[in-house]
Amino acid sequence: METSEIRRLIALEDTHWWYRERRAILRRELRGLGRPGRALDIGAAGGGNTRVLVEAGWDATATDSCESAVETARRRGLKAVHADARALPFEQGSVDLVTAFDVLEHIREDDLVTTEIARVLAPGGRALIAVPCDMALWSEHDDAVGHIRRYGRDSLTVVVEQAGLSVDRLWSWNVLLRPLVARHRRSSKGSDLRRTPFLVNAGLSVVVRAERYLPVRSLKGVSLFLWARLGR
């Protein structure tokens, strides 16, 4: 992703419905894990998700390939390292949890990223990955933010399992708003990373939060989430 787009993301993530709900998902998923250990947040931008990890008791480090993003994370009081996700500067088996939200789709050699995730995880370590799904939703937004691909369930599973990780759970997110997103993206001109009017933001927040209580995870959405572990 271009530096300008990362800066837009950082400016939006505290209030934008999309990023707020994804942080809520991360908080809920962390509750199902055991005792917090060492965590690595890959492609962390300004560290929005890293802060959630720290709040949950994890010894978390943010990494990003954008130096200004790393500087922002550090100004927020987070541990942050400038790094390429294809060659992480961490020892083998040194972390218990890896998060990678909207990372794989930006990198042509996505298999190198999942291989690095597997390498740095300790035995039994877990990875929570989120990606945009379904090439049918491809639009100028994807081009503008530097996407190489959108994933299907099968293609995401393959790149994770080929790295030596076992998939525990795979589900769709942003299902209810998919028709609206599809319609908007057909006419979109460039990146969707822009501030949303207050009432629109509030309304979209209500809709996407409703997915917490509805059995829609097996349907087509806008994103996919995946839990994987090293070992069975």
User: How many domains does the chain contain in total?
Assistant: 1
Integer angstrom CA distances of residue 76 from 5, 51, 54, 69: 19, 9, 12, 11
Name which of 105, 107, 49, 102 is nearest 78 in CA terms: 49
Tokens read off for 179: 């028709």
134/14 Cα distance (integer angstroms): 27
How confident is the prediction for the chain on average, in pLDDT?
93
Side-chain half-sphere of 230: how many Cα atoms within 13 Å?
22
Residues 6+ apart with CB under 8 A from 54: 60, 78
d(CA 16, CA 168): 29
Task: Quote the DSSP letter at residue 197.
Answer: P
The pLDDT of residue 127: 98
pLDDT given for residue 144 in this prediction: 86
3-state secondary structure of 129: strand
The H-or-E segment that residue 157 falls in is helix 153-161
Task: Tell me the C-alpha distance between 52 and 197, whole Å.
Answer: 25
The percent of residues above 70 in pLDDT, for the chain, comes to 97
* Confidence label for 191 from pLDDT (cuts 50, 70 and 90): confident
Residue 112 pLDDT: 98
CATH classification of the domain holding 81 = 3.40.50.150
pLDDT (0 to 100) of residue 3 = 63
**Element at 116 (helix H, strand E):** helix 110-120
What pLDDT is stored for residue 232 in this prediction?
66
Residue 10 pLDDT class (50, 70, 90 cuts): confident
Answer whether 108's CB lies under 8 Å from 154's CB.
no
Q: Where are the alpha helices (DSSP H) in 34-177?
A: 48-55, 67-75, 110-120, 140-144, 153-161
Mean pLDDT (whole number) for 79-98: 97
Question: pLDDT digit string (tens) for 102-160?
Answer: 999 999 999 999 999 999 999 999 999 999 999 999 998 899 889 999 999 999 999 99
For residues 34-63, give the mean pLDDT: 96
Q: What is the pTM of this model?
A: 0.94
- Confidence tier at 1 by pLDDT (50, 70, 90): low
- How far apart, in whole angstroms, are the C-alpha atoms of residue 224 and residue 152? 8
Quick check: 140 and 114 in contact, CB under 8 A? Answer: no
Q: Stretch 95-101: mean pLDDT, rounded?
A: 98
**Given this model, what pLDDT does residue 193 score?**
67
> Domain of 106?
3-230
Q: Where are the beta strands (DSSP E) in 114-222?
A: 121-132, 165-173
Q: How far apart are CA 62 and CA 47, in angstroms?
A: 6
